[in-house]
Copies of this chain bind each other. A is one copy, B any other.
Amino acid sequence: MGASKSDHFTDEQNELSTLFKALGHPARIAIIQQILETKSCVCGDLVQKFPLSQATISQHLKELKSANIIQGTIEGNSICYCLNPETLNKISSAISIFIEAEKCKGTRCC
Protein backbone atom coordinates (compact mmCIF):
# COMPACT_ATOMS: atom_id res chain seq x y z
CA MET A 1 0.00 0.00 0.00
CA GLY A 2 0.80 3.60 -0.35
CA ALA A 3 2.16 6.40 1.64
CA SER A 4 1.33 5.88 5.26
CA LYS A 5 3.35 7.59 7.90
CA SER A 6 3.80 4.39 9.85
CA ASP A 7 4.31 3.93 13.51
CA HIS A 8 7.40 1.89 12.99
CA PHE A 9 9.50 4.78 14.01
CA THR A 10 10.38 6.40 17.29
CA ASP A 11 8.67 9.53 18.54
CA GLU A 12 11.87 11.43 18.05
CA GLN A 13 12.14 10.33 14.46
CA ASN A 14 8.55 11.27 13.80
CA GLU A 15 8.82 14.64 15.48
CA LEU A 16 12.01 15.56 13.74
CA SER A 17 10.78 14.57 10.33
CA THR A 18 7.61 16.54 10.91
CA LEU A 19 9.66 19.65 11.54
CA PHE A 20 11.77 19.15 8.46
CA LYS A 21 8.78 18.38 6.34
CA ALA A 22 7.20 21.66 7.34
CA LEU A 23 10.28 23.39 5.99
CA GLY A 24 10.23 21.29 2.86
CA HIS A 25 8.42 23.66 0.56
CA PRO A 26 9.86 26.74 -1.14
CA ALA A 27 6.81 28.82 -0.30
CA ARG A 28 7.24 28.09 3.37
CA ILE A 29 10.93 28.99 3.27
CA ALA A 30 9.97 32.19 1.49
CA ILE A 31 7.37 32.96 4.12
CA ILE A 32 9.90 32.49 6.89
CA GLN A 33 12.40 34.73 5.17
CA GLN A 34 9.76 37.34 4.62
CA ILE A 35 8.72 37.27 8.26
CA LEU A 36 12.34 37.75 9.24
CA GLU A 37 13.01 40.51 6.75
CA THR A 38 10.23 42.84 7.65
CA LYS A 39 10.77 44.66 10.85
CA SER A 40 7.25 44.26 12.01
CA CYS A 41 5.86 40.78 11.84
CA VAL A 42 4.03 40.52 8.59
CA CYS A 43 0.64 39.00 7.97
CA GLY A 44 -1.32 39.41 4.76
CA ASP A 45 1.54 41.23 3.10
CA LEU A 46 2.59 37.77 2.09
CA VAL A 47 -0.35 37.50 -0.23
CA GLN A 48 0.91 40.49 -2.16
CA LYS A 49 4.52 39.37 -2.10
CA PHE A 50 4.02 35.90 -3.49
CA PRO A 51 2.24 34.61 -6.57
CA LEU A 52 -0.04 32.45 -4.48
CA SER A 53 -3.63 32.87 -3.52
CA GLN A 54 -4.71 33.95 -0.08
CA ALA A 55 -6.10 30.49 0.58
CA THR A 56 -2.83 28.83 -0.31
CA ILE A 57 -0.74 31.13 1.84
CA SER A 58 -3.08 30.68 4.74
CA GLN A 59 -2.63 26.96 4.37
CA HIS A 60 1.14 27.21 4.37
CA LEU A 61 0.99 29.40 7.45
CA LYS A 62 -1.19 26.82 9.11
CA GLU A 63 1.35 24.10 8.46
CA LEU A 64 4.18 26.18 9.83
CA LYS A 65 2.05 26.99 12.82
CA SER A 66 1.03 23.43 13.55
CA ALA A 67 4.69 22.44 13.39
CA ASN A 68 5.30 25.19 15.93
CA ILE A 69 7.78 26.89 13.66
CA ILE A 70 5.84 30.11 13.68
CA GLN A 71 3.30 31.52 16.04
CA GLY A 72 0.69 34.13 15.37
CA THR A 73 -1.01 36.66 17.55
CA ILE A 74 -4.07 38.62 16.68
CA GLU A 75 -3.44 42.31 16.16
CA GLY A 76 -6.40 44.36 15.21
CA ASN A 77 -8.08 42.45 12.49
CA SER A 78 -4.90 41.06 11.07
CA ILE A 79 -2.59 38.43 12.45
CA CYS A 80 1.03 38.86 13.26
CA TYR A 81 3.38 35.95 12.77
CA CYS A 82 6.77 35.40 14.35
CA LEU A 83 9.22 32.57 14.38
CA ASN A 84 9.33 30.35 17.42
CA PRO A 85 12.96 30.34 18.57
CA GLU A 86 12.46 27.22 20.64
CA THR A 87 11.53 25.12 17.66
CA LEU A 88 14.36 26.55 15.60
CA ASN A 89 16.75 25.59 18.35
CA LYS A 90 15.34 22.11 18.40
CA ILE A 91 16.03 21.74 14.69
CA SER A 92 19.44 23.29 15.03
CA SER A 93 20.53 20.94 17.75
CA ALA A 94 19.30 17.91 15.86
CA ILE A 95 21.50 18.87 12.93
CA SER A 96 24.39 19.58 15.28
CA ILE A 97 24.06 16.12 16.72
CA PHE A 98 24.31 14.67 13.23
CA ILE A 99 27.37 16.74 12.50
CA GLU A 100 29.09 15.82 15.74
CA ALA A 101 28.31 12.15 15.36
CA GLU A 102 29.73 12.19 11.89
CA LYS A 103 32.92 13.83 13.09
CA CYS A 104 33.37 11.25 15.82
CA LYS A 105 33.11 8.28 13.54
CA GLY A 106 36.41 6.48 13.48
CA THR A 107 35.85 4.31 10.49
CA ARG A 108 35.04 6.09 7.29
CA CYS A 109 34.44 4.64 3.92
CA CYS A 110 33.55 7.65 1.86
A72 to B110 CA separation, bound complex (whole angstroms): 7
Q: Is A62 an interface residue (CB 8 A)?
A: no
- Whether A83 contacts B102 by the Cβ 8 Å rule is yes
| Known A-B contacts A39-B105, A92-B95, A102-B83; A24 and B13 likewise in contact (beta carbons under 8 Å) | no
Give residues of chain A (1-39) contacting chain B, Cβ–Cβ below 8 Å.
5-6, 8-10, 13-14, 16-18, 20-30, 32-33, 36-37, 39
A85 to B99 CA separation, bound complex (whole angstroms): 7
Copies of the protein in its oligomer: 2
Using Cβ atoms and an 8 Å threshold, which residues of chain B touch A41?
107-110
A109 to B35 CA separation, bound complex (whole angstroms): 12
Count of chain A residues with a beta carbon within 8 Å of a chain B beta carbon = 57
Contacts from A to B (Cβ < 8 Å):
5-6, 8-10, 13-14, 16-18, 20-30, 32-33, 36-37, 39-41, 50-52, 71-73, 75, 80-83, 85, 88-89, 91-92, 95-96, 98-99, 101-103, 105-110
